[in-house]
Amino acid sequence: MESGSRADRHTTVEELPMQLGLIGLGRMGGNMRERVRAAGHEVIGFDADPSIRDVGSLAALVTRLSSPRVVWVMVPAGEPTRSVIDALRGLLAAGDLVIDGGNSRFSDDEVHADVLRERGIGYLDCGVSGGVWGLEEGYGLMVGGGDADVARAMPIFDALRPEGKRDEGFVHAGPVGAGHYAKMVHNGIEYGLMQAYAEGYELLAAEPRITAPDAVMGAWQKGTVVRSWLLDLLVSALREDPGLSSISGYTEDSGEGRWTVEEAIAHAVPVPVISAALFARFSSRQPDSPTMKAVSSLRQQFGGHQVRTLEAAQS
């Protein structure tokens, strides 16, 4: 029977202290290094920033690790990850294991796995959720790959995940690609949840009867069916900056929402909430919407409705 204490996790042979090479020590990677070290493992980190890295090059990192090696890649998706995977292919040896913990598209994982497999190097993809709070709270982990590779890296996964039952913060989601696919859907859901909270806040703020929208949302944090960590974070932000006057509504997307919608189309699965949340982010980047200009123009054309000129809107 599994214990929830971190100390108990490292009493079995397979959970003795490990070595881990960690590439990418940014906002998440740096905190992950500290959390894994706190669990009793040795972490050797490399980053482009010399002020935070433990070794000066990827080659030096590989040299410091004992065989068979485990290397975790925590760099931006796309070309940065591909470049690191390609470099590791030439530096690592058969029997070593690479874990991609970034937000790579799931379709890239099979390519990475194939490239490394040619040299006898194993590969896991791991979707990681937790952001800057993960150091204290732990990280939600979604892993794709073979059973033996997952078992081998489990002490590291146990160090990173939240305290408590393993299956409440970790899942072996399936073969290579499944981890990042699960994280993609997770992030799509996140888009929808954030949009719903944000729209609710705007409606509360628009009603004169509501004298303290932040207090209303704060009262939802306990006992209600809409309580969540995202709600807690929004309430915290509103208390720090009532009305959110110090920030712009311009909102980027890092790709996962788009991929979720693309996959929904491919599988003919309706995702209207996630789609609307993604499109709302697109709208946030438009100082003046061409779509709504066209709508206004059409109303004037067919109905003679009054339109507001750009000059009048800016005055």
Active site residues: 183, 190
107 and 116 Cβ atoms separated by less than 8 Å: no
Q: In what order do the strands lie in the sheet with 70-73?
A: 42-46, 19-23, 70-73, 97-100, 122-129, 140-144, 170-174
* Rounded (5°) CA angle 133-138-139: 90
Minimal CA–CA distance to 44: which of 156, 169, 127?
Answer: 156
Minimal CA–CA distance to 90: which of 63, 69, 64, 119?
Answer: 119
Task: Supply 304's token pair.
Answer: 């003679």
Minimal CA–CA distance to 153: which of 162, 23, 145, 177?
Answer: 145
Minimal CA–CA distance to 29: which of 134, 170, 112, 172?
Answer: 134
Helix, strand, or coil here: 256? helix
